[in-house]
């Protein structure tokens, strides 16, 4: 019996090591099956012990299960009705008001998520300023910036290939453009304070190196200057010398085996005028749309930026707003929990600054910060976002299990690690398909939800279609709560006509 048991376990271990579908089993043969056993009996156990389906953070068990099922094109439905207590819910619970006469899907359209089925953005990126390489993104759902170094090469490869399959944009993160980003996915090159990939030897910004990199990399479709991110605004990064491998050093343009510290603020500009000058210079030299990414803190910056854009004609082509609930590989707890406004408060303040200068139709707004969940994404689009970026939910699609060990370098699924052993379990070919399926499902459900509200495209859903339920229980129309004027949050008339015509074909 002992011999038979040993032979059986050996057989299971062998199968685990050579299969590619499950990273956990490949990295932790035999014992990894315990995770699936607990997952299978979890609903029964949670009736009596541990947490319910909505208590875990930052993403609940229901939300993670939905992403996993979506990425595998499995059963993403839930039975028996909502297990959320709507009578005693937390504040700001979104309720979407459906139309009495919803829009039907075209007969020829697939009734399931399909990565080949585009859902274009309602605005042309760089169109208002007539950039030479302006374009309409074919996906309003795209992948947020996550650097090689924070994520493994296998994870970046999977995300980039998945973006290519789904026709989505893939933001590089501030760590530069690596070989793992060059798998046919269209890129938004994010440039942080370290200027990785476009820096001089002293760490200062190098425009010639940026132009050379753009010329050599046709997949770069836009440039994003990162001012800050939601989980750690106002902080510079530090990559310890032990992690600065020759590969990472070459990509970032830094010495190997030496501490790499990014300053808290940019040295290429010191004020709004300097920022706008740099944006226009990069756009003129490359022809690309150029934008900024920022968390939202003190509001004077946004009023100053919008005001100077209106007066001078120098503009940012897009603005990516990251909520304080956004993710990071590592950050001090107080910054993750208490610095930068959450998305629902942050975005309306920025949008208002541009709307008051009548610039809201000329800028493409991108939202990020837990927007990979459908109801959050629709609210963001109704508030005025033209596209959304997904980060941690995209990580779920390639294997992340929310172990929350990103900062240790020991991610068990090989996603947020540089350990070759842990990384080897993540098969980019398989996981890229799951990433594409997840992006396609977000688009499919957003479009389905928009049609249920009576609109042909999610960006056309007005903010008054959504109410936010509070614990009283009482609701308030979202447009009234955010003090939006009539028409705010929607594209301009020309963009509405253009996207309506596109969706009619």
Q: What is the pLDDT of residues 70-98, one digit of tens each?
A: 998 888 787 667 767 676 666 778 899 99
Stretch 19-45: mean pLDDT, rounded?
A: 68
Q: What is the mean pLDDT of the chain?
A: 87
Q: In this predicted structure, what is the pLDDT of residue 316?
A: 97
Stretch 230-240: mean pLDDT, rounded?
A: 63
63-81 burial, b for 16+ CB within 10 Å, e for fewer?
bbbbbbbbbebeebeeeee
Q: What does pTM read for this prediction?
A: 0.86
Higher-pLDDT residue of 147 and 385 is 385
Higher-pLDDT residue of 136 and 337 is 136
Q: In this predicted structure, what is the pLDDT of residue 52?
A: 58
Distance CA 172, CA 191 (A): 9
Tokens in use for 444?
């499919």
Above 70 in pLDDT, residue 383? yes
The domains located in the chain, with CATH, are: 1-50 (no CATH), 141-454 (3.20.20.70)
Q: How confident is the model at residue 44 (pLDDT cuts 50, 70, 90)?
A: very low
Higher-pLDDT residue of 21 and 141 is 141
Residue 387, H or E segment: strand 387-390
Strand partners, 466: 96
Stretch 325-337: mean pLDDT, rounded?
A: 68
- What secondary structure, in 3-state letters, does 354-370 show? HHCCCCCCCCEEEEECC
pLDDT digits (tens, 9 = 90+) for 178-193: 999 999 999 999 999 9
Stretch 134-142: mean pLDDT, rounded?
A: 97
DSSP string of 389-454, one letter each residue: EESHHHHHHTT------GGGT--TTSSS---HHHHTT--HHHHHHHHHHHHHHHHHHHHHHHHHTT
Higher-pLDDT residue of 7 and 114 is 114
Above 70 in pLDDT, residue 331? no
Q: In this predicted structure, what is the pLDDT of residue 254?
A: 82
Is there a contact between 145 and 172 (Cβ–Cβ < 8 Å)? Answer: yes
Q: In this predicted structure, what is the pLDDT of residue 227?
A: 92
Above 90 in pLDDT, residue 279? yes
High-pLDDT (> 70) share of the chain, % = 87
Highest mean pLDDT among 218-232, 302-316, 408-422, 481-495: 302-316
Tokens in use for 424?
């080897």
């Amino acid at each position: 019996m002992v011999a038979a048991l040993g032979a059986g376990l050996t057989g299971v271990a062998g199968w685990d090591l050579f299969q590619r579908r499950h990273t956990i089993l490949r990295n932790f043969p035999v014992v990894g099956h315990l995770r699936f056993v607990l997952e299978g009996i979890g609903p029964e156990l949670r009736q009596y012990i541990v947490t319910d389906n909505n208590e875990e953070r930052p993403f609940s068990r229901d939300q993670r299960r939905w992403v996993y099922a979506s990425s595998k094109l499995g059963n993403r439905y839930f039975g028996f009705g909502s297990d959320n207590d709507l009578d005693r819910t937390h504040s700001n619970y979104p309720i979407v008001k459906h139309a009495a006469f919803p829009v039907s899907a075209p007969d020829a359209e697939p009734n399931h998520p399909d990565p080949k089925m585009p859902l274009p953005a309602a605005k042309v990126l760089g169109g208002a300023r007539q950039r030479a390489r302006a374009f309409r993104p074919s996906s309003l759902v795209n992948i947020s910036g996550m650097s090689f170094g924070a994520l493994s090469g296998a994870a970046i490869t999977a995300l980039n290939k998945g973006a290519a399959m789904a026709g989505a944009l893939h933001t590089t993160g501030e760590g530069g453009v690596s070989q793992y980003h060059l798998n046919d996915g269209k890129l938004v090159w994010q440039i942080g304070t370290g200027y990785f990939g476009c820096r001089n030897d002293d760490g200062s910004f190098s425009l010639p190196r940026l132009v050379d990199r753009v010329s050599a990399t046709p997949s770069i479709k836009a440039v994003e200057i990162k001012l800050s991110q939601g989980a750690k605004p106002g902080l510079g990064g530090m990559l310890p010398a032990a992690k600065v491998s020759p590969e990472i050093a070459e990509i970032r343009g830094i010495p190997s085996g030496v501490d790499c510290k990014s300053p808290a603020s940019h040295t290429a500009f010191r004020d709004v005028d300097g920022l706008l000058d740099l944006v226009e210079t990069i756009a003129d030299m490359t022809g690309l749309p150029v934008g900024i990414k920022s968390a939202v803190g003190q509001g004077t910056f946004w009023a100053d930026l919008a005001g100077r854009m209106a007066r001078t004609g120098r503009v940012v082509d897009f603005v990516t707003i990251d909520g304080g609930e956004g993710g990071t590989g590592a950050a001090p707890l107080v910054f993750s929990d208490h610095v930068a406004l959450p998305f629902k408060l942050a975005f309306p303040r920025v949008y208002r600054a541009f709307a008051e200068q009548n610039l809201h139709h000329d800028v493409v707004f991108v939202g990020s910060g837990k927007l990979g969940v459908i109801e959050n994404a629709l609210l963001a689009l109704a508030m005025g976002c033209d596209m959304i970026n997904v980060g941690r939910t995209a990580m779920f699609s390639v294997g992340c299990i929310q172990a929350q060990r990103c900062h240790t370098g020991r991610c068990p699924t090989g996603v947020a690690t540089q350990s070759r052993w842990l990384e080897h379990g993540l098969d980019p070919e398989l996981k890229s398909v799951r990433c594409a399926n997840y992006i396609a499902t977000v688009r499919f459900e957003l479009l389905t939800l928009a049609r249920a509200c009576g609109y042909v495209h999610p960006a056309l859903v007005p903010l008054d279609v959504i109410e936010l339920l509070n614990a009283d229980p009482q609701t308030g129309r979202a447009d009234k709560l955010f003090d939006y004027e009539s028409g705010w949050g929607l594209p301009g008339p020309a963009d509405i006509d253009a996207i309506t015509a596109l969706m009619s074909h």
